[in-house]
Amino acid sequence: MIFHNSASVRLNGPWKHCMHGWRQLFLQGIPVIAWLAGFTAYAEEQAFERIEVFPSQIQLDFMRDQQSIVVIAHRPDGRTLDVTETSTMSLTNPAIATFHNGMFTPIADGSCMLTITYAGHCADIPVTISGATLEPPISFRTDVMPVFARGGCNTGSCHGAARGKDGFRLSLFGFDPAGDYQRITREFPGRRIDLGDPIGGLLVQKAVGGVPHTGGKRFALESALAATLVRWISEGAPDDSAVIPQLVGLDLYPPEAILDDSGTRQRLVAVARFADGTDRDVTDLCWYGSNNDSSAKVSPNGIVTTNNRGEAFIMARYQTITVGMPLVIIPKDLSFSFSEAIGNTWIDDLVDTKLKKLRIHPSSVCDDETFLRRATIDLVGMVPTLEQRDQFLEDASENKRSVLIDELMTSKEFVEIWVMKWAEILQIRSSNNQVSPKGAILYHQWLDRRIAANEPLDTMVRELLVASGGTFENPPTNYFQLERNTLKLSENVAQAFLGMRIQCAQCHNHPFDRWTMDDYYGFAAFFPQIGRKRAADPRESIVFDSGSGEVKHPIGNANVAPKFLGAETPKVSDRDRRESLAKWITSPDNPFFSKHIANLTWTHFLGRGIVHEPDDARVSNPPSNDLLLEGLGKRLSDSGWDFRTLVRDICNSKTYQRSSVSNESNHLDTTHFSHALIRRVRAEVLLDVVSSVTQTKNKFPGLPLGAHAVQVADGKTTNYFLTTFGRATRDDVCSCAVSMEPSLSQALHLLNGDAVHDRITQGKLIEQRMQEKQNNPDIIKELFIRCFCRSPDENELTDTLAIVESAPDRRQALEDVFWALINSPEFIFNH
Amino acid sequence: MNVVSRMVLLLQLCALPTILPSLFVMRGMVAMSADMPVTYEQNILPLFREKCCSCHNPDKTSGGLDLSSFLQTLAGGSSGKVILPGDAEGSYLWQLVSHASEPSMPPESEKISDEMLSVIKAWISAGALERSGSAPIASAQKTSDFTMAPGTLISLEGPPIMPPRLSLEVVVEGLRGTSVTAMASSPHGPLVAIGGREQVLLYSTETLELIGVLPFPEGDVNSLRFSRNAKLLIAGGGRPARSGRVVAWDISSGIRVAELGDEFDEVLVADLSGDQRLVAIGGPSRVVRLLQTVNGSTESEIKKHTDWVTTLEFSPDSVLLATGDRAGNLFLWESSGAREYALLRGHTGSITGVAWRPDGAVLASVSEDGTCRLWDADGGSQNKSWNAHSGGALGVVWLGDGRLITCGRDNKFKLWKPDGVLERDFEKLADIGIRVSVSSDSTKVLASDWTGAVVVHDISNGKRIGSIDSNPVRLEKRLLLARHDVLEHSKAIIPADNAFTVADIARTTAIHSVQTGTQIFKELSSKRTMLLSTIDTSNAEKKKLSDDLKMTRESLGDLKGSIKKAESALEACRVAAKATPDDAAVVEQVIVAEKNSRQAKEAHETVQKSIGSAKELIDQLTKQIVADSSEKVILEAMLEEIQSKLTADSIYRDETIREATMHEEAVVMLRKKISNAELAVIKWQNEIDFAQSQERSAN
Task: State which amino acid sits at residue A269.
Answer: V
pLDDT of A22 above 70: no
Residues A583-593, mean pLDDT to the nearest whole number: 90
Question: A212 CA to chain B: closest CA distance, Å?
Answer: 6
Tell me if B222 sits within 8 A of B268, measured CB to CB.
Answer: yes
Q: Which of B11-15, B23-27, B690-694 has the lowest mean pLDDT?
A: B23-27
pLDDT of residue B299: 92
Q: pLDDT of B564-606, one tens digit each?
A: 777 777 777 777 777 777 777 777 777 777 777 777 777 777 7
Burial A441-468 (b: 16+ CB within 10 A, else e): bbbbebbbebbeeebbbbebbbebbbbb
- Identify the three-state secondary structure at position B160: coil
Phi, psi torsion values for A134, nearest 5 degrees: -80, 135
Res. A45 pLDDT band, cuts 50 70 90: very low
Res. B179 pLDDT band, cuts 50 70 90: very high
pLDDT of B528 above 80: yes
Q: Which of B146-155, B284-293, B321-330 has the lowest mean pLDDT?
A: B146-155
Task: State which amino acid sits at residue B483.
Answer: R
Residue B474 carries which DSSP code?
P
Instruction: Please judge whether A197 and B175 are an interchain contact, meaning their C-beta atoms are less than 8 angstroms apart.
Output: yes
Instruction: Please judge whether A191 and B266 are an interchain contact, meaning their C-beta atoms are less than 8 angstroms apart.
Output: yes
Tell me if B459 sits within 8 A of B444, measured CB to CB.
Answer: yes
What angle (nearest 5°) sits at the alpha carbon of residue A102, between those of residues A99 and A103?
55
pLDDT of residue B28: 39
Instruction: Please judge whether A189 and B51 are an interchain contact, meaning their C-beta atoms are less than 8 angstroms apart.
Output: no
Q: How far is CA A126 from CA A64, A111, A175, A407, in A?
A: 19, 7, 35, 63
Q: What share of chain A in percent tops pLDDT 70? A: 94
Residues A499-519, mean pLDDT to the nearest whole number: 87
Burial of A703 (0-12, 13-18, 19+ CB in 10 A): middle
| C-beta neighbour count of A430 within 10 angstroms | 22
Which residues of chain B lie closer than 8 angstroms to A217, CB-CB? 108-110
Domain B477-698 falls under CATH 1.10.1660: no
pLDDT of B104 above 70: yes
Phi, psi torsion values for B652, nearest 5 degrees: -60, -40
Instruction: Please judge whether B326 and A217 are an interchain contact, meaning their C-beta atoms are less than 8 angstroms apart.
Output: no
Question: B432 CA to chain A: closest CA distance, Å?
Answer: 8
Kindly report the three-state secondary structure assignment for every residue of B29-52. Answer: CCCCCCCCCCEHHHHHHHHHHHHC
The residue among A32 and A204 whose pLDDT is bigger is A204
How far, in Å, CA of B83 to CA of A11, rounded?
73
Residue closest to A283 by CA, chosen among A464, A436, A102, A155: A102
What angle (nearest 5°) sits at the alpha carbon of residue A551, between those of residues A548 and A554?
155
CB-based contact (8 Å) between A186 and chain B? yes
Question: A162 CA to chain B: closest CA distance, Å?
Answer: 16
Q: pLDDT of A622-652, one tens digit each?
A: 999 989 999 999 999 999 999 999 999 999 9
- The contacts of residue A820 (CB under 8 Å, 6+ apart) are none
Q: What share of chain B in percent tops pLDDT 70? A: 93
Residue of B52, B220, B307 with shortest CB distance to A190: B220
Q: pLDDT of B649-677, one tens digit each?
A: 999 999 999 999 999 998 999 999 999 99
pLDDT of B271 above 70: yes
Q: Give strand pairing partners of B243.
A: B239
Taking all residues of chain A, what is their mean pLDDT, rounded to a whole number?
Answer: 88
- ipTM of this predicted structure: 0.72
pLDDT of B311 above 60: yes
Residues A774-784, mean pLDDT to the nearest whole number: 90
Angle between helices A400-410 and A643-652 (to 10 degrees): 150
| DSSP secondary structure, A57-124, as one string | -EEE-STT--B--EEEEEPTTS-EEE-TTTSEEEES-TTSEEEETTEEEESSSEEEEEEEEETTEEEE
Helix intervals (H) in A240-306: none
Q: Which helix (H) or strand (E) holds B183?
A: strand B183-185
Tell me if A600 sits within 8 A of A614, measured CB to CB.
Answer: yes
Distance from chain centroid for Cα B603: 104
pLDDT of residue A575: 67
Instruction: Please judge whether A202 and B178 are an interchain contact, meaning their C-beta atoms are less than 8 angstroms apart.
Output: no
pLDDT of A46 above 60: no
* Omega cis (within 30) before B103: yes
pLDDT of residue B537: 86
Res. A423 pLDDT band, cuts 50 70 90: very high
Q: pLDDT of B445-495, one tens digit each?
A: 999 999 999 999 999 999 999 999 999 999 999 999 999 999 999 998 999
Residues composing chain A: 831
Res. B194 pLDDT band, cuts 50 70 90: very high
Which residues of chain A lie closer than 8 angstroms to B449, CB-CB? none
| Residues in chain B whose Cβ is within 8 Å of chain A | 51-55, 106-110, 172, 174-179, 181, 196-197, 220, 222, 239-242, 266, 284, 307-308, 326, 409, 431-432, 434, 450-452, 471
Taking all residues of chain B, what is their mean pLDDT, rounded to a whole number?
Answer: 87
Kindly report the three-state secondary structure assignment for every residue of A722-748. Answer: HHHCCCCCCCCCCHHHCCCCCCHHHHH
> Which part of chain B has CATH 2.130.10.10?
183-472
Q: Give strand pairing partners of B386.
A: B372
Residue A691 carries which DSSP code?
H
Dihedral-angle region of residue A134 (phi above 0 means left; psi in -120 to 50 means alpha; beta otherwise): beta
Question: A198 CA to chain B: closest CA distance, Å?
Answer: 8
Instruction: Please judge whether A191 and B240 are an interchain contact, meaning their C-beta atoms are less than 8 angstroms apart.
Output: yes
pLDDT of residue B433: 96
How far, in Å, CA of B581 to CA of B583, rounded?
6
pLDDT of B500 above 70: yes
Residue closest to A108 by CA, chosen among A88, A90, A127: A127
Res. B139 pLDDT band, cuts 50 70 90: very low
Q: pLDDT of A530-572, one tens digit each?
A: 999 988 888 888 999 888 889 999 988 899 999 999 887 777 7
pLDDT of residue A310: 86
- The contacts of residue A560 (CB under 8 Å, 6+ apart) are A518, A521, A522, A524, A525, A550, A551, A552, A553
> Which part of chain B has CATH 1.10.287?
477-698
Res. B690 pLDDT band, cuts 50 70 90: very high
Which residues of chain A lie closer than 8 angstroms to B178, CB-CB? 190, 193-197
pLDDT of residue A501: 93
Res. A26 pLDDT band, cuts 50 70 90: low
pLDDT of residue A508: 83
Res. A28 pLDDT band, cuts 50 70 90: low
Residue closest to B121 by CA, chosen among B210, B189, B47, B27: B47
The residue among A9 and B676 whose pLDDT is bigger is B676
Burial of A105 (0-12, 13-18, 19+ CB in 10 A): middle
Residue B224 carries which DSSP code?
E
What angle (nearest 5°) sits at the alpha carbon of residue B660, between those of residues B656 and B664?
170
Domain B183-472 falls under CATH 1.10.443.10: no
pLDDT of A41 above 70: no
Instruction: Please judge whether B197 and A200 are an interchain contact, meaning their C-beta atoms are less than 8 angstroms apart.
Output: yes
CB-based contact (8 Å) between A198 and chain B? yes
Residue closest to A470 by CA, chosen among A578, A576, A543: A543
pLDDT of B325 above 70: yes
Instruction: Please judge whether A196 and B266 are an interchain contact, meaning their C-beta atoms are less than 8 angstroms apart.
Output: no
pLDDT of residue A13: 43
Instruction: Please judge whether B177 and A195 are an interchain contact, meaning their C-beta atoms are less than 8 angstroms apart.
Output: yes
Residues composing chain B: 699
pLDDT of residue A27: 53
The distance between the two most distant Cα atoms of chain A, rounded to a whole number of Å, is: 110
How far, in Å, CA of A466 to CA of A325, rounded?
39
* Long-range Cβ contact pairs of B53-58 (< 8 A, separation 24 or more): B53/A212, B53/B264, B54/A211, B54/A212, B54/B241, B54/B242, B54/B264, B54/B265, B55/A212, B55/A214, B55/B106, B57/B264, B57/B285
Domain A250-335 falls under CATH 2.60.40.1080: yes
Phi, psi torsion values for B145, nearest 5 degrees: -95, 95
Tell me if B607 sits within 8 A of B556, measured CB to CB.
Answer: yes
Task: State which amino acid sits at residue A601.
Answer: T
Output the CA torsion B264→B266→B268→B273 (10° steps): 70
**pTM for the full model?**
0.75
pLDDT of residue A773: 87
Angle between helices A412-425 and A400-410 (to 10 degrees): 70
pLDDT of A2 above 90: no
Question: A354 CA to chain B: closest CA distance, Å?
Answer: 42
Instruction: Please judge whether B471 and A212 are an interchain contact, meaning their C-beta atoms are less than 8 angstroms apart.
Output: no
How many beta-carbon pairs below 8 A join chains A and B?
89
The residue among B39 and B233 whose pLDDT is bigger is B233
pLDDT of B391 above 90: yes
- Identify the three-state secondary structure at position A628: helix
Q: pLDDT of B400-425, one tens digit each?
A: 899 999 999 999 999 999 999 999 99
Res. A30 pLDDT band, cuts 50 70 90: low
